[in-house]
Structures are given as structure tokens and as C-alpha cells.
Amino acid sequence: LRLARADLGIEPAKSAARLDELMDIMYEYISGLEDGEIATGIFTLPGVIDQLETLAKMKDRVACGLVTGNVEGIARRKMKAVGVWQTGALAAPAKDQINQRWFGTDDFGFLGGFGSDYCSGNIDDAERNYLDRSEQIAIATRRCEESLLSSEKRLERVVHVGDAPADVLAAKIFSQRDDLNLCVGCVAVATGSYGADELKKLAGEPIPGRWEPVTLEEGMADQNFLEACGVE
């Protein structure tokens, strides 16, 4: 929507109505590329693959997913291209994620909440950057809860891992929902463009049992990463 305004002079009020069409075109382009082409310029940070491989051994009690503003089909291709999907850590997609329009990716779909699931279309309000992300966390959470309905298990804790202010604020806003009956954790990893102090300040004070943020300077390479997630 920002590009449509900047390059074509089309305002969101008009371009948002064709957002689904735009996402389909974006996915059509990506679907024509090989994994190596998709992975060009993208790499996993230290610790990511190792931690995910460890989490893959805990799937009886931990469900990993992805929350991103990207199109779900593109996210699937990217996670496969960089080797994240191959770790086996990502939980199976929810029922409403199967047989969607992301042809050719059902064999490596996974649990999550995506920009193709929710986009407010409001690019003038800076707060929507994290408010939209919070909605995507809610979608991933709902899907996880629904996947547990046929079992005796229930979701007790949601942990959002991210390296940007929008990630921290999105998780924090999500934790404040009135209808929420679980603990929300956030592991802010200072491995991107933002420092640990900035991310920690945005997270604010923890509320035990409700909002439990942790900041790690070394991100997923930190030996205490799983502990920070609440996984023992």
C-alpha cells in the first residue's frame, strides 16, 4: 500500500480493496523461483537452527509457529528456502490454513498468523504497525487453541520472539486483551537494528503470570534462550 502511494499515487482507500489480488500476484512471482533464488541475501542468525532443532524434540508440549506481516505462501517458501521448516520444529497448519490459495506449499505449511490473514490497510497511523501484528499473534493463538480441542491439552503460554519495537509492542498489546486467559511472554532479541536497552524499555515492567518479557542481546544464540521462553 505504501509503494502504491509512493510510486503510483494511489491512496490506500483505493488500493486496499485490491490487496488480496496484490498478494496473489506477489505469491505467483515467488512460486516461480527456486529455493536458492528465494534464499539469496537471507540467512539464519546464530543459534536459530540449533534452538529450533531442540524445540522439535519438544513437540508434545511446545507448538512453534510464525507470525509475520508477509503473505503466508511467501513465508512458507522462505522458511523452506532457508532451512527453518526442515528443523521439524514448526507445528502443523490449522484446518483453515489448508488448501488455501498458496498452491504447491501444502506439504510444508505450518501454524501461524500472517499479513494475508489480517491487514488493516491503515498506513497513516504508525501504531497500526504493531496493532496489526498483535492481531496476527491473536490469529496464530486461536489456531493453536483450536488444534488442541481434540486433545486433553490446553494452551497456557504464548511467547512471541522478535527483534523490532513492533514485535515487543504487539505482544504487549496482545497480553492486555480482556478475553485472554493465558500468560504472554516476549523474547526481544537484540540481533537486528535495535538495541537491547530500547527493546527492554518498550517492554516495560513484567506482570507475573500475564506479561513476562525478556531481552537477550545475543538472541537465539544465548544459552538461556529456552529458559527465557519458559521452556524447561
Residue 232: pLDDT over 80: no
Share of the chain above pLDDT 70, in %: 100
User: What's the average model confidence in pLDDT over 101-123?
Assistant: 95
Four-point Cα dihedral 74, 79, 81, 87, nearest 10: -160
Q: By C-alpha distance, which of 158, 161, 133 is closest to 145?
A: 158
pLDDT of residue 99: 83
Residue 207: pLDDT over 80: yes
Share of the chain above pLDDT 90, in %: 96
User: What's the average model confidence in pLDDT over 137-166?
Assistant: 96
